Amino acid sequence: MNESLRCWSNIPFITMPLSRTHGKSFAHRSELRHAKRIVVKLGSAVVTRGDECGLALGRLASIVEQVSMLQNQGREMMIVTSGAVAFGKQRLRHEILLSQSVRQALHSGQNQLKDMAIPVLEARACAAAGQSGLMALYEAMFTQYSICAAQILVTNLDFHDEQKRRNLNGTLHELLRMNIVPIINTNDAVVPPPEPNSDLQGVNVISVKDNDSLAARLAVEMKTDLLIVLSDVEGLFDSPPGSDDAKLIDIFYPGDQQSVTFGTKSRVGMGGMEAKVKAALWALQGGTSVVIANGTYPKISGHVITDIVEGKKVGTFFSEVKPAGPTVEQQGEMARAGGRALAALQPEQRAEIIYHLADLLTDQREEILSANKKDLEEAERRLALPLMKRLSLSTSKLNSLAIGLRQIAASSQESVGRVIRRTRIAKDLELEQVTVPIGVLLVIFESRPDCLPQVSALAIASGNGLLLKGGKEAAHSNQILHHLTQEALSIHGVKDAVQLVNTREEVEDLCHLDKLIDLIIPRGSSQLVRDIQKAAKGIPVMGHSEGICHVYVDTEASVEKVTRIVRDSKCEYPAACNALETLLIHRDLLRTPLFDQIIDMLRVEQKSLWTGAFLKCCSLQRHAGH
């Protein structure tokens, strides 16, 4: 940002706006989609090109497009922009070169012309030369979307003087009311020379000395819901970006500053990440949510603003609400470490864990059914009958689950370390193909809580770490079943191998964790599979296609088996995804006792709306003589 802003640092600004009433900031990323009033701060590194010789026009055009899109959705958008000094510097350098003596250039030669010294350009002059061009550019870009933009230049008096501060506040509110996008920058052409930095200290004060603090101040002053700070890095790292061990911080909480090592400031401007964090925390305390993200890298900045507003995992989100449990990244690391410990166990020990889990499903039956009852009561008004059937657990279901788990345990002896193929390459040299764990699996399932112990048992048998993401409609059931799974894992000290994702992570965000997850297995509708395959970034997805759930009754079919097969395929559990959908009967069987026997059986066994509709169709065909 502009050097001249340092002179603002020693002015005793008012600690908080007088009429702050819009409440606390959003606690979770998913809530950002409800943001009504948004400030977008563009740093110098975002506005200017990498060579610092002009504005990044393509990048600015993308930002204007996204801001316009949100504005046309009914949101109130404001932009705090840098770039006037950089733009003016480019223009003045060009003018200085052109004003050099042509005669001197001819006599000196082309090489000496390139080396011609350019005097140091004063920041205020650069700002005066660049501000009008910068604003003209914004106006031209917003006009393409039928949106009007208005320029507001501020100085220290606009915040230091109470009446000017109120005037500024009123002007901004009036512009927003008229659906105009205010573009705010400092009036660097008239500010005094820089003074030594004497930044105020304290939890409730901020001194406006750069565009980061200016954006934070305006965001709080205007009761803004969200402040998006665009920089030239992906967000806040725990150590300077570019170092080998630097790790992007997904969510930053107040009090975590001690865990961060700040690097140098931006390549242009005067703001650094430390200044951004301080401004972000001040805005957060004032009730404004903050996200720091990359606005320069094309693959990231293409839709960075709209992605943030949609609640996607972009940049660093500042939150005052620290979750009681671990983050999903921490859960992924725990699952990986637990999976490795699980794979190191003897096959008999893994089988013992699964046997113990099967026992717990029957021993803790009452607790499981009680939790499931809560889910059913909460979902009764929201879910259709087939989904309620899938959500429901019963004593018979739990008994069947326990039997299935014991079968998995009995056949799990050779899941890991089994030699599939052995080839002799040369004397004393053999090549073996051996089964090994995949790593960390992410299994996403809908509605069915019985999926959790089934998948857990398979992961335990194969020595894989497991992340589970179930539907929120089964939250209570999944919680108790996961607790029992970890209790079973604890008998051999591998409790962390199976993790249930309880945070408010979107499925699409989970699909981006390619450094933690080795395979994604969606278990649900074909639409769920397609969505996850589309969202997965660098992670293999084991999907499935739609099956054909038909039964065909031929003229030579066994009369004793037909009725039992049709009953089992449709009436035993009609909510199952592989329940009978179409019954095909040979035309020669129409108006025969066998046909009537099948229809009468279905009528007696009618247990769901699906069977009722199915019967109606069969009856119509019978009466029509088809």
pLDDT digits (tens, 9 = 90+) for 44-64: 888 887 665 678 888 899 999
Backbone phi, psi, residue 155, to 5°:
-130, 180
* HEC readout, 497-543: HEEECCCCCCHHHHCCCCCCCCEEEEECCHHHHHHHHHHCCCCCECC
pLDDT at 257: 64
Q: What is the dihedral of CA 245, 468, 373, 506, to 10 degrees?
A: 60
Distances in Å between the Cα of 68 and the Cα atoms of 138, 141, 178, 570, 593 are 12, 10, 15, 53, 70
C-alpha 451/C-alpha 448 separation (Å) is 6
Task: Output the CA torsion sign for 68, 28, 285, 317.
Answer: negative
The four Cα atoms 241, 236, 209, 179 give a dihedral, to 10 degrees, of 130
Low-confidence residues of the chain: pLDDT under 70: 1-23, 50-53, 94, 96-120, 188-189, 191-209, 256-271, 297-302, 545, 575, 607-626
pLDDT value for 276 = 87
The predicted pLDDT at position 229 comes to 95
Helix (H) or strand (E) holding 218: helix 211-221
Distant-in-sequence, close-in-space partners of 45: CB < 8 Å, separation ≥ 6: 231, 232, 266, 267, 268, 269, 296
Give me the pLDDT at residue 213, please.
Answer: 85
**Sequence-ordered list of residues with C-beta below 8 angstroms from that of 150, at least 6 positions apart, any chain:** 175, 180, 181, 182, 183
Asked whether the beta carbons of 289 and 226 are under 8 A apart, the reply is yes
Cα–Cα dist 514/506, whole Å: 15
d(CA 485, CA 433): 31
What 8-state DSSP symbol labels residue 248?
Answer: B
pLDDT of residue 275: 82
Compute and round to an integer the Cα radius of gyration of the chain: 33
For β-strands 419-426 and 429-434, DSSP reports them as: antiparallel
Name the residue type at position 422.
R
Choose among 498, 449, 460: nearest CA to 356: 460
Contact at 8 Å (CB) between 236 and 259? no
In the structure encoding, which two tokens stand for residue 545, read together? 């296609």
CB atoms near residue 415 (< 10 Å): 20
Name 39's bridge partners: 78, 227
* Phi, psi at 479, each rounded to 5°: -65, -50
The continuous run of DSSP H or E covering 162 comes out as helix 162-177
Closest CA to 309 of 224, 369, 380, 203: 224
Six token digits for residue 113: 């012309």
Domains of the chain: 3-318 (3.40.1160.10), 328-535 (3.40.605.10), 550-624 (3.40.309.10)
Each residue's pLDDT tens digit, 351-366: 999 999 999 999 999 9
Give the model's pLDDT for residue 90: 73
Q: Which residue has the tokens 């859960």?
A: 331
Q: What is the model's pLDDT at position 23?
A: 62
| Helices marked H in 268-426 | 273-285, 298-301, 304-309, 328-343, 347-363, 365-379, 385-391, 395-410
Contact between residue 284 and residue 318 where contact means Cβ atoms under 8 Å apart: yes
Q: Which amino acid is present at 559?
A: V
- Tell me the one-letter amino acid at 185: N
> Per-residue DSSP letters for 564-607?
HHHHHHHTS-TTSTTS--EEEE-GGGTTSHHHHHHHHHHHHT--
- Sign of the CA dihedral 516, 519, 523, 525? positive
Output the pLDDT for position 7.
35
Using CA atoms, how far residue 265 sits from 123, 124, 350, 626, in Å, is 18, 21, 52, 80
Give DSSP secondary structure letters for 346-373. -HHHHHHHHHHHHHHHHHTHHHHHHHHH
Cα 27 to chain center, whole Å? 14
Q: Which H/E stretch holds residue 469?
A: strand 465-469
Token pair, residue 301, equals 């900045």
